[in-house]
Amino acid sequence: MLTREHRCGRSEEQEPEPGLSPKKAGIGRWLRNGCKWKMEEPEEPADGGQSLPPVYIYSPEYVSMCDSLAKVPKRASMVHSLIEAYALHKQMRIVKPKVASMEEMATFHTDAYLQHLQKVSQEGDDDHPDSIEYGLGYDCPATEGIFDYAAAVGGATITAAQCLIDGMCKIAINWSGGWHHAKKDEASGFCYLNDAVLGILRLRRKFDRILYVDLDLHHGDGVEDAFSFTSKVMTVSLHKFSPGFFPGTGDVSDVGLGKGRYYSVNVPIQDGIQDEKYYHICESFSQHMVLIMCWKSRQAAGQTAMSPTESSKSSTTSKVTFEDLKHLPKSRRWELPLLKAYCASPCWILYKLDLISSSLLPHEVGNWCPQS
């Protein structure tokens, strides 16, 4: 049996500079002082960092492959149809995704898991005796072709990351990505491959520190586990947290391990929360997230903010999530590369694109916001 350290750990070379004790100062104050991340805002570039059009990872073959996932049938094509209906694809740079190789997927996932997934995918064998060990079953059935689907999604996010590395854009989008539950050797929560982790690992080839922001309904456990031992990737997850709710992790006390201690931040939310309280949490915390980003962009080669899977989070309303997303444009002022891997329903696309670039949408659409 692999331990948590063996399954997830990736300790790194450098500890953060010593400062105030996180326990004494509190996480917010520690972020401001303990890690020496400055609170000063850099000057906003004249063009807002928007001289380069966003990159849209797309091909008809990729959309068709993503449509094949039984848990979310045809969602990819619905998203693309909405983008086409408003001619938004004409204002973005379309880049055809590559398919992830076995070697690229193995930068995070174990060879044994990948080989088993490939085997059952080719055979369409959902009853293989070893599948339970790898998390293949009820929520992640081993259907025919599932390995090809996983490789396609992983490759799309890696392609988006490479576009940022190559300086092709400031923002890269994979609308069908953000499968954040998959573990090193285990499928989980409809996720067969953790493309978010693969994207972060690719970005780490150039960028020293990565900030991962997860606004999905569920805790981003797979990504947090992957980087729980390192100070090079800070994971932030806002999610529902209650007894019996999947995946059952992400308590406020889960802050990382070893060198990664206090580099995992969880904001667990219970049922019944109203917009005002939810927005207050997001507003106060997002200031820290933005400031973390701005400091490295000025002091080092550049830091990347990655904002995967965003979907409705509250059983009460959806309006609050749009309020959360209003913070995302702030990150554009720091000239930081943004990799956005979404697993989103079509009704979200227009509002997200307006936040990414206010020039993409007609005025009457850009001013629209869903009501609760």
Identify whether 128 is a catalytic site residue: no
Q: Which of 181, 219, 239, 288 is catalytic?
A: 181
Q: Are 301 and 334 contacting, i.e. CB atoms less than 8 angstroms apart?
A: no
As a three-state string, the secondary structure of the chain is: CCCHHHHHCCCCCCCCCCCCCHHHHCHHHHHHHHCCCCCCCCCCCCCCCCCCCCEEECCHHHHHHHHCCCCCCCHHHHHHHHHHHCCHHHHCEEECCCCCCHHHHCCCCCHHHHHHHHHHHHHCCCCCCCCHHHCCCCCCCCCCCHHHHHHHHHHHHHHHHHHHHCCCCCEEEECECCCCCCECCECECCECCCHHHHHHHHHCCCCCCEEEEEECCCCCHHHHHHCCCCCCEEEEEEEECCCCCCCCCCCCCCCCCHHHCCCEEEEEECCCCCHHHHHHHHHHHHHHHHHHHHHHHHHCCCCEEECCCECCCCCCCCHHHHHHHCCHHHHHCCCCCEEEECECCHHHHHHHHHHHCCCCCCHHHHCCCCCC
CB atoms within 10 A of CB 270: 10
DSSP bridge partners of 214: 237
- Cα–Cα distance measured from residue 67 to residue 209, given in angstroms and rounded to the nearest whole number: 34
User: 146 Cβ partners below 8 Å, 6+ apart?
Assistant: 117, 120, 121, 192
Chain-centroid distance of CA 329 in Å reads 16
Task: Give catalytic residues, as residue numbers.
Answer: 181
